[in-house]
Amino acid sequence: MLVNLLNPDKPISFAGCMTQTFLFLTFAITECLLLVVMSYDHYVVICHPLRYSAIMSWSVCITLAVTSWTTGFLLSLIHLMLLLPLPFCMSKKVNHFCEIMAVLKLACADTHINENMVLAGAVSVLLGPFSMIVVSYLCILCAIMKIQSGKGKRKAFSTCSSHLCVVGLFYGTAIITEMEENQTVVTEFVLLGFCLSPRIHIVILGVFSFFYAFTLLGNGLILGLICLDSRLHTPMYFFLSQLAIVDIAYACNTVPQMLVNLLNPAKPISFAGCMTQTFLFLTFAHIECLLLVVMSYDRYVAICHPLQYCTIMGWRVCNTMVITSWACGSLLALVHTSLILRLPFCGPNQINHFFCEILSVLKLACADTWLNKVVIFAASVFVLVGPLCLVLVSYSHILVAILRIQSGEGRRKAFSTCSSHLCVVGLFFGSAIVMYMAPKSQHSEEQQKILFLFYSFFNPMLNPLIYSLRNAEVKRALRRALCTDSHSQVE
Q: Which residue has the higher pLDDT, 62 or 419?
A: 62
Question: Which has the closest alpha carbon to 360: 375, 371, 372?
Answer: 372
In the predicted structure, residue 12 carries a pLDDT above the cut 50: yes
Q: Which residue has the higher pLDDT, 191 or 158?
A: 191
The torsion angle over the Cα atoms of residues 185, 191, 197 and 198, rounded to 10 degrees, is -100
Residue 472: its pLDDT value, please? 67
Residue 468: its pLDDT value, please? 67
Q: Counting beta carbons within 10 angstroms of the beta carbon of residue 174, is it exposed (0 to 12), middle (13 to 18) or buried (19 or more)?
A: middle
What CA–CA distance (Å, rounded) separates 449 from 439?
15
Predicted confidence (pLDDT) per residue in 455-488, tens digit = 677 778 877 777 766 666 777 777 777 776 555 5
Measured from the Cβ of residue 34, the count of other Cβ atoms closer than 10 Å reads 16
Residue 490: its pLDDT value, please? 45
Instruction: Please name each of the domains of the chain with its CATH number.
Output: 10-179 (no CATH), 189-490 (1.20.1070.10)
DSSP state of 95: S
Residue 4: its pLDDT value, please? 62
The pLDDT confidence band at residue 354, using thresholds 50, 70 and 90, is: confident
- For residue 395, what are the contacts with CB-CB under 8 A and spacing of at least 6? 296, 299, 300, 418, 422
Q: Hey, CA dihedral for 323, 325, 328, 330, is it positive or negative?
A: negative
In the predicted structure, residue 365 carries a pLDDT above the cut 80: yes
Residue 290: its pLDDT value, please? 92
Q: Which residue has the higher pLDDT, 33 or 410?
A: 33
Average pLDDT of the chain is 81
In the predicted structure, residue 8 carries a pLDDT above the cut 70: no
Q: Counting beta carbons within 10 angstroms of the beta carbon of residue 299, is it exposed (0 to 12), middle (13 to 18) or buried (19 or more)?
A: buried
Q: Which residue has the higher pLDDT, 297 or 263?
A: 297
Name beta bridge partners: 269: 189
What are the angstrom distances between the C-alpha of 215 and each of 231, 356, 463, 465?
24, 21, 9, 9
Predicted confidence (pLDDT) per residue in 180-233, tens digit = 555 556 778 888 877 777 778 788 888 889 988 988 998 898 888 888 888 888
Residue 254: its pLDDT value, please? 86
Q: Which residue has the higher pLDDT, 111 or 397?
A: 397
In the predicted structure, residue 37 carries a pLDDT above the cut 80: yes
Q: What is the arithmetic mean of pLDDT over 87-103?
A: 76
Residue 470: its pLDDT value, please? 60
Using DSSP's 3-state secondary structure scheme, residue 250 falls into helix
**Among residues of the chain, what percentage have pLDDT more than 70?**
88
The pLDDT confidence band at residue 1, using thresholds 50, 70 and 90, is: low
Predicted confidence (pLDDT) per residue in 113-136, tens digit = 887 788 777 777 777 788 788 888
In the predicted structure, residue 30 carries a pLDDT above the cut 80: yes
Residue 23: its pLDDT value, please? 92
Name beta bridge partners: 303: none
Q: Which residue has the higher pLDDT, 74 or 101?
A: 74
Residue 176: its pLDDT value, please? 63
Q: What is the arithmetic mean of pLDDT over 36-40?
A: 90
The pLDDT confidence band at residue 74, using thresholds 50, 70 and 90, is: very high
Residue 418: its pLDDT value, please? 77
Q: What is the arithmetic mean of pLDDT over 50-71?
A: 91
Using DSSP's 3-state secondary structure scheme, residue 362 falls into helix
